[in-house]
Amino acid sequence: VQIFVLVLAPILLILAKQSDLGTAMICVVGILAVMWLGEVPARTMAIVAGLVVAVGIVGVVSEPYRMSRLMVFLDPWNDGEGGFGKGYQLIHSFYAIAGGGLFGVGLGNSHEKYLYLTQSDTDFIFAIIAEELGLAGALVVIALFALFLYAGMRIARSATDNFGTMVAGGLTIMIAFQAFLNIAMVVGWFPVVGKPLPFVSSGGSSLIATLAMVGLILSVSKEAAAPTIYERRRADLRVVRAASDTGHTTASARSGRGRAGANRR
């Protein structure tokens, strides 16, 4: 708890103060994931989670624009401008998802992204996927993120030490949580926080950061797949023993042939 308060809390407060509550939330989830993977006592995790929730509530209530986002989330049509104000994006996200139906209107045939949904290639790209590819395509995207989460946690479990487990598991959960946050925001399950969909939304900085995290996860996988120093030593011993046995067999065979020749003479 002391480490969290002294080192991590100021960083999260700076992120929250910069109107980037979404990034702060993702970092908090990553921290809690690392604590869980590091087998931190449940009481300590509960204290940290309670502090985070308390600070989050204060942060939302103290900022008028965050409260307005919360109100729009509860009723986007009641934004004070008849749905053409702060609820506009969310409303047209609903229209895009509903218009896609089961199998969508076809790739590239979206109406919302050309005429109405202004953030269609970044924060609300999932709504366009649902419109063009339908519920089936949206479920495929969700399944791929679930597969990513499964693969990342398998890598974390196979790590050779606790540090590798915490790195791979924490980064995997952060990426998966960001995907969940974006999808929940688009379908109206969570207030709009302006976080892109990993690997899908346009934007170089987000993609670079996500791929860097994937690189760290893969480095843990590579380390786990590599033989340990003890395995290498055992392999070397097996080679030495095999060579010794081969030499002993060869010497015995030569000795046997020598004795047979002497007997013939």
Q: What is the pLDDT, as a whole number, of residue 49?
A: 84
pLDDT band at 71, cuts 50/70/90?
confident
Average pLDDT over residues 38-49: 84
* Predicted pLDDT of residue 232: 58
State the pTM of this model.
0.79
Burial call 52-86: b when 16+ CB within 10 Å, e when fewer: beebbeebbeeeeebebbebbbeebeebeeeeeeb
186-244 per-position pLDDT tens digit: 998 988 888 899 999 887 788 999 999 999 999 998 887 766 555 556 655 665 566 56
User: What was the pLDDT predicted at 263?
Assistant: 52
> Could you tell me the CA-to-CA distances from 241 to 150, 151, 234, 235, 244 in Å, in that order?
41, 39, 10, 10, 5
- Average of per-residue pLDDT across 71-98: 82
The confidence score (pLDDT) of residue 126 equals 94
Q: Which pLDDT belongs to residue 105? A: 92
